[in-house]
Amino acid sequence: MCGIVGYIGYRDTNPILIEGLKRLEYRGYDSAGVCILVDGETVIVKDKGKVSHLESLLDAKNVHSTIGIGHTRWATHGEPNFVNAHPHSNEEGDIVLIHNGIIENFNTLKKSLITQGYTFKSDTDTEVLAHLIDVFMKKGNKLFRAVRLALSEVEGTYGLAVISSREPNILIAARKGSPLVIGVGDKENFIASDVSALITHTKQVVYLDDGEVAEITAEGFRVKTVQDEEISKEVTEVFLTLEELDRGGYDTFMLKEIMEQPESVLNSLRGRLLLDEGTSKLGGLENVLDKLVTAKRFILTACGTSWHSGLVAEYMFEQYLRIPTEVEYASEFRYRNPIIEPGDAIFFISQSGETADTLAAMHEAKRKGALCIGICNGVGSSIARDSDSGVYIHAGPEIGVASTKAFTSQLTVFALITLLLARKKDMSLADGKIIVEEFKLLPGKIKKILELRSRIEEIAEVFKDTPNFLYLGRGYNFPVALEGALKLKEISYIHAEGYPAAEMKHGPIALVDKNMPVVFIAPKDSTYDKINSNIQEIKARKGIVIAIATEDDDRIDTIADYSIKIPGTIRMLTPILSVIPLQLLAYFIAKKKGLNVDQPRNLAKSVTVE
Ligand code: F6R
């Protein structure tokens, strides 16, 4: 979603801002802009479109500075155009800011500012902030204080960066519900909404917490709360390399991330398997282990692909732990006054760790006294920091908007949690050891599936112009059907639906004719015979069947039109394998349609607004 970068120091700010914005492009955006201070004046360059377009506008202007802020906008209020692109300024143009998030009371604030004589240029909620800060500066406050006074009137969320030609040697940053990090350099400092935008310059960072405002100079920074309380912040080191952020020779980040799954799953497992004890070890859960083992109910909440991983975890928890488990969309959970009782443990699943609905759901659950466990990829992310305990999935940075390796790593971590708790409950050592052995085989099995790439590409060629797809699975593979359909629709714009295979008879079968491809996730497990009957039902109506089946399954070839064979494993781990052909199928179909798979239209990598 929207991205923020900022710089104050001794170097030319333009390349630093542009490089930072390029690193944030993956989050999804529709316009971009910067503001720098030149000879006591603010210079704003912005437009609808890509960062490369902004870069040429900035080059053409030939202005330079050692302080500046930059933004990529994903429209929430007002269409994507020049006027609505950030930065925004007050009327005199000497207070300039960029903002991620939503000012919820912007209409009330706007009306009050209009009665005070302020006029508005844009349709954005952000512009009220520039005028509001102006009000407080005109009352004699310095910029740092004026920003805090303005923010005390604001309801909503913000990641904010402000500069002013009235005080040209400071940069103000603030955060509430939208991430913001300070990068600490030598005689220079940086800000960004995501560490990836600043790690080429420094690995020393300070994460702002909600309600904090920082005054940053080239020499240092200080942080206060909106309510004026001085805060001392810890500088931490980020362990991320540039290669981890680059495409590593692949055409797209999405393909790189799909192909990386043998390593990313291995990284999720690294140091966490104890063969002799037939169990796993998850340091982040040690302080809550007893509570989890005796929990009366688990609730798993998340959005999108992360929600699908919660659905798979529900099968794991109920099969091995016999703990009642509910899975809920975070956006529904947060607003429905959920019933939370003693003995409940709630898992918040998020690749980014910044998804607004999931974060708000967690804050709501905390208010109600629930035990909150974060399952995140983003190290130091808001969900990771605000949860009581948690487990990092260690998938590495996921840049492609469509989540792939984070999903398989989330499933891996849920299987590790299941093993850990099951061994504390009633699973035998022998059974635990079998599961540990199966975990160890996963990376090799994923490699084998990835070798089927060209076969899957051929199938994609056949179906690239198909307007509709159905995905069907049962048990553990029902959520995989949902995930396969989501992958296809989000990057290829083909309409696709996922269903439990037997549910098909209650409606979707009406869609089936000779033009309808139906993807069955049909590994050899306890539902195999049932799903075979469902395949027959589709064939009887002349539907086209693409089956994801187990390697030694010859029977499937006699009924399916196309089959993709994956190695067998225990039921709990099957989704980690069965989803991979579906990721590749969606990928190749979208590529063959000539689409931008890394940044599909209308989507953002990190949805930091509700
Ligand atoms: C789909 C996808 C989204 C995310 C969802 C939650 O490919 O990426 O559906 O899964 O926006 O994001 P996180 O996991 O960052 O909370």
Give the architecture-level CATH label for domain 452-597: 3-Layer(aba) Sandwich (3.40)
Within 151-207, strands assigned E span 158-164, 167-176, 181-184, 189-192, 204-207
Give catalytic residues, as residue numbers. 2, 605
> CB under 6 Å to ligand 1: residues?
303-306, 350-352, 355, 358, 402-403, 486, 490, 606-607
Under 8 Å between Cβ of 28 and 401: yes
pLDDT value of residue 76: 72
- Residue 184, φ and ψ in degrees, nearest 5: -100, 120
In the structure encoding, which two tokens stand for residue 310, read together? 């919660």
Q: Three-state DSSP class for 145?
A: helix
Distance from C-alpha of 25 to C-alpha of 101, rounded to nearest angstrom: 17
- Given phi > 0 = left and psi -120 to 50 = alpha, else beta, which region is 299? beta
pLDDT of residue 289: 97
Place of tokens 């005796």: 294
What's the pTM? 0.79
Distance between Cα 555 and ligand 1 center (Å): 36
Q: Tell me, in angstroms, the distance from the centre of ligand 1 to residue 303's CA.
A: 6
Residue with tokens 């981890």: 244
- The C-alpha R_g of the chain, in whole angstroms, comes to 26
* Res 10: pLDDT: 98
What are the DSSP calls for 480-515, one per residue?
HHHHHHHHHHHHH--EEEEEEGGGGGGTGGGG-STT
Q: Same CATH fold, 251-449 and 3-243? A: no
| pLDDT for res 28 | 67
Tokens representing 64?
């330079």
Nearest CA to ligand 1 atom 11: 304
Specify the residue for token string 């220079």. 188
CA 411 to ligand 1 centroid distance, Å: 14
Element (H, E) at 259: helix 253-259
Question: Measuring from atom 10 of ligand 1, which residue has the nearest CA?
Answer: 305
Cα separation, 268 vs 414, in Å, equals 10
Best probe residue, ligand 1, of 300, 348, 352 (max atoms within 8 Å of C-beta): 352
Sheet holding 344-350, edge to edge: 325-329, 297-302, 344-350, 371-376, 389-392
Residue for token pair 């990190």: 606
Confirm or reject CATH 3.60.20.10 for domain 3-243, answering yes or no.
yes
Q: How far is the CA of 469 from the centre of ligand 1 (A)?
A: 21
User: How high is the pLDDT of residue 452?
Assistant: 97
Interacting residues of 182 by C-beta distance below 8 A, sequence separation 6+? 173, 189, 190, 191, 205, 206, 208, 214, 216, 221
Placement of tokens 């909620």 in the chain: 125
Q: Which two tokens stand for residue 493?
A: 């714009």
CA 178 to chain centre: 13
Atom of ligand 1 nearest to the CA of 401: 8
Mutate to test the pocket of ligand 1, among 258, 306, 398, 401 (most ligand atoms within 8 A of CB): 306
Burial 250-261 (b: 16+ CB within 10 A, else e): eebbbbbbbbbb
Q: Which tokens in the block code for residue 384? A: 């990771």
pLDDT at 544: 96
Q: In this predicted structure, what is the pLDDT of residue 279? A: 98
- DSSP per residue, 519-538: EEEE-SSTTHHHHHHHHHHH
The count of other CB atoms within 10 Å of the CB of residue 299 is 24
pLDDT at residue 441 in the model: 98
Tell me how far the alpha carbon of residue 24 lies from the centroid of ligand 1, in angstroms: 16
Whether the bond into 479 is cis, omega within 30 of 0: no
Domain locations along the chain? 3-243, 251-449, 452-597
- State the Cα–Cα distance between residues 541 and 480, nearest whole angstrom: 24
Q: Whose CA is nearest to atom 3 of ligand 1?
A: 304
Q: What separation in Å is there between the alpha carbon of 350 and the centre of ligand 1?
A: 7
Q: Which residues of the chain have pLDDT under 50?
A: none
Q: Which CATH architecture does the domain made up of 251-449 adopt?
A: 3-Layer(aba) Sandwich (3.40)
Neighbours of 155 (CB within 10 A): 12
pLDDT at 538: 93
Q: Given ligand 1 and candidates 405, 607, 609, which is best to mutate, with the most ligand atoms within 8 Å of its CB? A: 607
Q: What is the DSSP letter of 393?
A: -
Atom 7, ligand 1: which residue's CA is nearest? 402
Q: Tell me, what amino acid is at 561?
A: D
